[in-house]
Structure 1
Amino acid sequence: MDDSDQNCPLSELALQIAKDELREDEKTRKFALEQMREWIRKNPRIIFCRTDNSFLFRFLRVKKFSIPIAQETLEKYLLLRHAFGHLMFHNLDIKNPVMEELLSLGYLFVAPKRDKNGRRIIIARPGVFDPYKFTNQDMCHIHAITYETLMEDEENQVFGYVHFADGVGFSFPHLTLFTPKEAVRIVKNGERIIPMRHKEVHGINAPAGLKYVIDFGMSLVSEKIRKRVKIYNNLDELHKHIDRSLLPKEYGGEMPMAEMIDLWRKELLKYRDVLLTNDKMSVRLDMYSEAAKEGSVSALKSGCGIGAKKEGVDYVTGSFRQLAVD
């Protein structure tokens, strides 16, 4: 897929934020897309990868148009799709009865309106996830469907995301869904490799008896993300930080949760075929180390665990200075 001739779909506000925060303009967009496509074409480790604007821009924007870092992150993403394909990335079908049930329960969905900064609000209610009925694969799949759908929208790529979680009902059995090793790999690789700009994280009703779990989770994310996490004691405190009109009626807003879920379901169905087609993306696994193929955090940190098999690939250097990622 290649839509390089299409007009930029960003609104005036998104264009301005892209310029101010991401160093993005018409010239950098055109140059960066050319470089990314040429690199993919010449990379012997990549068998197939999407090359349409929306897909490539998500990596360029999250790395503020530092082309070498965007290229490296894209390749790590493709390898991560292999490492956790069975658990998270493959067969992301919202029509799957289990996915539909989790969506209808309101386990994870996205509010229809954007906040004053243009951001979508991702709403999570982990307590409604029955750990005796559903599996860790079910949990990963609904998260992947949600995030991959959001990333298809270029406005979301620029504005970033706000997360809101309600901890009511979350308990010890939920912790048995993943081993500590799996949790570390998923959280750390997810933050570093999934191209999303997480701007704010808000939580309410955190289980007092599971404080050590929250502390462990916070230790897995970067200092940048930790500073953006806020936990509140009640809805009144939350409303000081999130416009209550954007939240479901059950959390002080205006629109009932069920109505929000129905609207989000329509968005998911719109991108269903795209998400399923993503399963075609693949890399030559024989050119990676065993640790990288298994999703090792350390192996995916630098060079994709390629070791001595780096020959044949040139990452663009010197095109843009490497900036701190926001």
Structure 2
Amino acid sequence: MKKATTFADDYEFSLSKELKTLAEMELRETCATRDFALKALRDWIESNPRIASARMDSSFLLRFLRAKKFSVPITQEGIERYLLLRQSYDFFSNLDMNLPAMKTLLDTGYIFAVPQRDQFGRRVIIIRPGVFDPYKYANTDMLKVHGMVYETLMEDEENQIRGYVHIVDCTGVNLPYMTLFTPKEAVRIVKNAENTLPMRHKEIVAFKMHASIKFAADFALGLVTEKLRSRIKFFTSLDAVKVIDRSILPSEFGGTIPMAEMIESWKAEMAAKQPVLLANDKMRVHLEMYSLKAREGAISALKQLHCASSENDKSLYGLQGSFRKLEVD
């Protein structure tokens, strides 16, 4: 394939039978739907004049298909938005964990994944915004470190199927943090976090949130879908959180392994995926073919473009649209 930056492999499901059953029940993933969808996406990438190059390996494409429950048209839109935003914003490229700001943020444990999975097999991501100094770091540093952590996790197929739990320790977060992003930037970040990142957010738990920033959290809640909103919970302390197995968390949060040890383990996991993350910069789109709003991350702008493309090419989109969206998640 001319546009491929990675090999278009013949996929074989190599995970456990339990994961195979879970993928079929929750994501409608079978051998037949998977083979059809992978071929459809590869053909679409090759024929899409706006995409110059993209990964064609099954694992990369499946992260989007699984996040969108194998709805091919919705997956197409998600992939193109992802590729466009990667290229439109510098902080989504060169995801090098050894850059000075990234190294410091990772060392301090601003964001990391704990080594053990929870009782449902999901990876648990801990975010500690209070250790992010808004006077020392830029908002682009925050977005970049999140990007490299999430990209690392999305390379794992089990994560693609089981999803993620986010635990946000809001200790030390106050009004100065509200100046990191403009309202317009905040809206687009929240909307793209749900619609563009191919991640199954299963639980989002925040605790010790200062009253001065509660209004910002309420504002963000109003921007996401009801399904995601129902999975976001605020607590006064971690002691009040019952959905998380405390034993897998750092000892500072009631577990047994010190946070510093978990951070080093996570950094080693990230380092192993660095060649893949850096090679992702080979993926390109033709920016001049997109509107300014689409390049800035407006969800509606690219959706309109896809609707127009669908009308112009019934043969490309018609059959793929037969994949219905399941509500099981």
| 1:17 and 2:50 correspond | no
Return the alpha-carbon distance in structure 2 between the equivalents of residues 222 and 308 of structure 1: 25
1:320, distance to aligned residue in structure 2 (A):
1.8
Deviates more, 1:223-232 or 1:250-259: 223-232
Aligned residue runs from structure 1 range 167-186, under 5 A: 167-186=170-189
Aligned residue runs from structure 1 range 78-97, under 5 A: 78-83=83-88, 85-86=89-90, 88-97=91-100
1:275 corresponds in structure 2 to: 277
Change over 3 Å in CA distance of 1:250–1:292 after alignment to 2: same
Return the alpha-carbon distance in structure 1 between the equivalents of residues 256 and 305 of structure 2: 48
Change over 3 Å in CA distance of 1:12–1:309 after alignment to 2: closer
Return the alpha-carbon distance in structure 2 between the equivalents of residues 222 and 319 of structure 1: 24
**Counterpart contact for 1:187–1:221, Cα < 8 Å:** yes
Cα offsets for 1:215-255 (capped at 9, x unmatched): 112122221111111122223212x2200111110000111
**Counterpart contact for 1:185–1:295, Cα < 8 Å:** yes
**Counterpart contact for 1:105–1:128, Cα < 8 Å:** yes
Count residues in correspondence.
323
1:254 corresponds in structure 2 to: 256
TM-score (norm 1): 0.93
Query: What amino acid does structure 2 have at the position aligned with 1:62?
Result: A
3-state secondary structure, aligned to 2:301: helix
TM-score (norm 2): 0.92
3-state secondary structure, aligned to 1:2: coil
**Counterpart contact for 1:288–1:309, Cα < 8 Å:** no
**Counterpart contact for 2:106–2:263, Cα < 8 Å:** yes
1:314, distance to aligned residue in structure 2 (A):
2.3
Q: Equivalent pairs: percent with the same residue? A: 53
Contiguous gaps of at least 5 residues in structure 2:
1-5
**Counterpart contact for 1:42–1:313, Cα < 8 Å:** no
Return the alpha-carbon distance in structure 1 between the equivalents of residues 190 and 315 of structure 2: 29
Cα offsets for 1:32-70 (capped at 9, x unmatched): 111111111111111001010111001110111111211
1:116 corresponds in structure 2 to: 119
**Counterpart contact for 1:299–1:305, Cα < 8 Å:** no
3-state secondary structure, aligned to 2:222: helix
Return the alpha-carbon distance in structure 2 between the equivalents of residues 39 and 63 of structure 1: 17
2:295 corresponds in structure 1 to: 293
Contiguous gaps of at least 5 residues in structure 1:
none
1:104 to 103, 107, 114: 107
3-state secondary structure, aligned to 1:65: coil
Return the alpha-carbon distance in structure 2 between the equivalents of residues 204 and 160 of structure 1: 21
Cα offsets for 1:101-134 (capped at 9, x unmatched): 1011110000111112110001000000001111
Deviates more, 1:298-307 or 1:105-114: 298-307
Change over 3 Å in CA distance of 1:158–1:251 after alignment to 2: same
Moved over 6 A (4+): 305-309
Return the alpha-carbon distance in structure 2 between the equivalents of residues 134 and 193 of structure 1: 25
Query: What amino acid does structure 2 have at the position aligned with 1:128?
Result: V
3-state secondary structure, aligned to 1:182: helix
| 1:27 and 2:38 correspond | no
Deviates more, 1:33-42 or 1:134-143: 33-42
1:309, distance to aligned residue in structure 2 (A):
11
Taking only aligned residues, the RMSD between alpha carbons, in angstroms, comes to 2.1
